[in-house]
Structure 1
Amino acid sequence: MNTSISPTVATAELFPIREVARQTGINPVTLRAWERRYGLIQPQRSAKGHRLYTPEHIAQIRQVLSWLERGVAVSQVKRLLEDAADIHNIEDSPWRAQQEQWLTWIEQLAEQKLDTAFKQAMALYPPETLCQHLFQPVLNRLQEYWTLTDGARVEQVFFMTWLRTQLASRIAHNNTLHSSAPLLVSSLAEQTMQPHLWLCAWLISYSECPVRVLEWPIPTADLSLAVNRLRPRALLLHSSQRLNLEQLRSSLSNIHCPVLLSGQAVKIHQTELLELAQLTCSIEPLQAYHQLLELQLLQSH
Structure 2
Amino acid sequence: MYPVKAAAELTGLTPETLRAWERRHAAVAPQRAANGRRLYDAATIERLTRLHRLTARGHPIRDLAALDDAALDALLERSRQTGFGGLDCLPARMLDAIADYQVDEFDRELSVAIATLPVAVLVSRVVMPLLREVGLRWADGRLAIAQERLVSSLLRARLLSVINQHPRERRPRVLFATLPGEPHELGLLGAALYAHDAGAPVLYLGTELPAEELVRVTTRLGAGAVALSSIDPGSAPQALAQLRVLDADLPPGVPVWVGGVNARYMAEALGSARVQAVTDPDALSRRLKRMDAVAARRGAG
TM-score (norm 1): 0.65
Q: Counterparts of 1:10-159 in structure 2 under 5 Å?
A: 23=12, 59-61=55-57, 66-67=76-77, 70-74=80-84, 94-149=86-141, 152-159=144-151
Measured after TM superposition, the shift of residue 155 of structure 1 is 1.0
Measured after TM superposition, the shift of residue 151 of structure 1 is 6.4
**Alignment of 1:221 onto 2:221:** no
Measured after TM superposition, the shift of residue 268 of structure 1 is 4.4
Measured after TM superposition, the shift of residue 265 of structure 1 is 1.7
Distance 1:121 1:191 in 2: 28
**Deviation readout 1:2-59 (Å, 9 max, x if unpaired):** xxxxxxxxxxxxxxxxxxxx949xxxxxxxxxxxxxxxxxxxxxxxxxxxxxx99971
**Alignment of 1:208 onto 2:199:** yes
Contact 2:175-2:223 within 8 A present in 1 as well: yes
What is residue 10 of structure 1 aligned with on the other side? none
Q: Secondary structure at the match of 1:94?
A: helix
Aligned residues: 229
Matched residue type, 2:57: I
Measured after TM superposition, the shift of residue 261 of structure 1 is 1.1
Distance 1:224 1:57 in 2: 36
**Among residues 160, 166, 169, which one is paired with 2:152 in the alignment?**
160
Measured after TM superposition, the shift of residue 165 of structure 1 is 0.2
TM-score (norm 2): 0.65
Distance 2:52 2:125 in 1: 27
**Deviation readout 1:235-285 (Å, 9 max, x if unpaired):** 112222314324422331211212211112214436414x1222121235x
Measured after TM superposition, the shift of residue 288 of structure 1 is 5.2
What is residue 262 of structure 1 aligned with on the other side? 259
Matched residue type, 1:153: I
Distance 2:111 2:142 in 1: 31
Distance 1:291 1:56 in 2: 15
Contact 1:181-1:232 within 8 A present in 2 as well: yes
Q: Secondary structure at the match of 1:217?
A: coil
What is residue 198 of structure 1 aligned with on the other side? 189
Classify 1:258/1:163 alpha carbon distance in 2 versus 1 (closer, same or farther; 3 Å).
Answer: same
Gaps of at least 5 residues in structure 1 are 1-21, 25-54, 75-92
**Among residues 259, 272, 279, which one is paired with 1:283 in the alignment?**
279
Q: Secondary structure at the match of 2:203?
A: strand
Matched residue type, 2:162: R
Gaps of at least 5 residues in structure 2 are 1-10, 14-50, 60-74
Distance 1:217 1:173 in 2: 24
Measured after TM superposition, the shift of residue 60 of structure 1 is 4.5
Contact 2:177-2:205 within 8 A present in 1 as well: yes
Matched residue type, 1:100: A
Matched residue type, 1:249: R
Q: Secondary structure at the match of 1:235?
A: strand
Distance 2:187 2:155 in 1: 10
Contact 1:185-1:214 within 8 A present in 2 as well: yes
Matched residue type, 2:118: P
Contact 1:249-1:276 within 8 A present in 2 as well: no
- In terms of fraction of residues, the more helix-rich structure is 2
Identity of aligned residues (%): 19
Distance 1:218 1:57 in 2: 37
